[in-house]
Structure 1
Amino acid sequence: MGRIDLGKDGEKLAVDYLLSRGYKILEKNFRTPIGEIDIIAKHGEYIVIVEVKRRMSENFGNPEIAVNYRKQEKLKKLALFYLSKLGKEYPVRFDVIAIKDKQIEHIENAFY
């Protein structure tokens, strides 16, 4: 499986996981001029920005390690872009879904 297929498969696993836990999926692969958000969901009152990382082996470390400070800052900017389009204020949460093989770890409030 190639890197892109691996990522798309991981995002599908993440969407299924979130739906099974009562999340409403608002957007998948939300593209902006400055980047992309993997999944935007609503859970309770929160808009949840979800970054999905998948690894098939531990050669490059755990998947969540890839959501470094630089990636976090970019996701914050992307979230502001998305929220500005809604015309209403919502509390926001940043989650990471890390998938190793088919094992899912959901890290709520991964950063802020």
Structure 2
Amino acid sequence: MAEHIEKGKLAEELAKDWLISKGYEFLEANYRYKHAEIDLIFKHKGLLIFVEVKFRSGTGFGFAEEFVDFTKRKLIVKAADQYIHEKDWHQDIRFDIVGVYKDKNNNYNFRQFEDAFY
């Protein structure tokens, strides 16, 4: 498996565990609909939350939220619409981005951007 894919999968697993530790209820990972994918799906405080996870090995080239462009957001929303339809969800939703950052000491840090887009 390519190194960037392995890092991405690790980042998703770390973000999932981190959000669970914050009281989020994990529902699903890597939900796919056609060409769209949602990294993680949670429930928290009555909301259905769709999470895009981005791994960065530093912030020299920018923060995680800067790497979720219009096209990516559009695909995530499309997949979320399908998921909402499948699950017959009738409550509020939110789209978050979680940045997973690896520092010089090989420690992982997290930055969550709630309600990042719609």
- TM-score (norm: length of structure 1): 0.92
Q: How many residues align?
A: 112
In the other structure, the counterpart of 2:101 is: 100
Structure 2 CA distance for aligned equivalents of residues 22 and 88 of structure 1: 20
Deviation at 1:72, TM superposition (A): 1.2
Higher deviation after alignment, 46-55 or 27-36: 27-36
CA offset digits 1:31-69 (Å, max 9, x no partner): 222321100100011000000000114454222211112
Q: Does 1:35 align with 2:36?
A: yes
**Percent of aligned positions with the same letter in both sequences?**
37
Question: Given the alignment, which residue of 89, 99, 117 partners 1:111?
Answer: 117
- What SS does the aligned partner of 1:109 have? coil
Instruction: Give 1:85 deviation, angstroms.
Output: 0.2
**Residue 114 of structure 2 aligns to a residue in which SS?**
strand
RMSD: 1.5
Secondary structure at the aligned position of 2:91 is classed as: coil
Per the alignment, residue 65 of structure 1 pairs with: 66
| Paired amino acid for 1:29 | N
TM-score by length of 2: 0.88
Q: CA deviation at 1:84?
A: 0.4
Q: Which amino acid aligns with 1:27?
A: E
1:90 counterpart SS class: coil
Q: Which residue of 2 aligns with 1:85?
A: 86
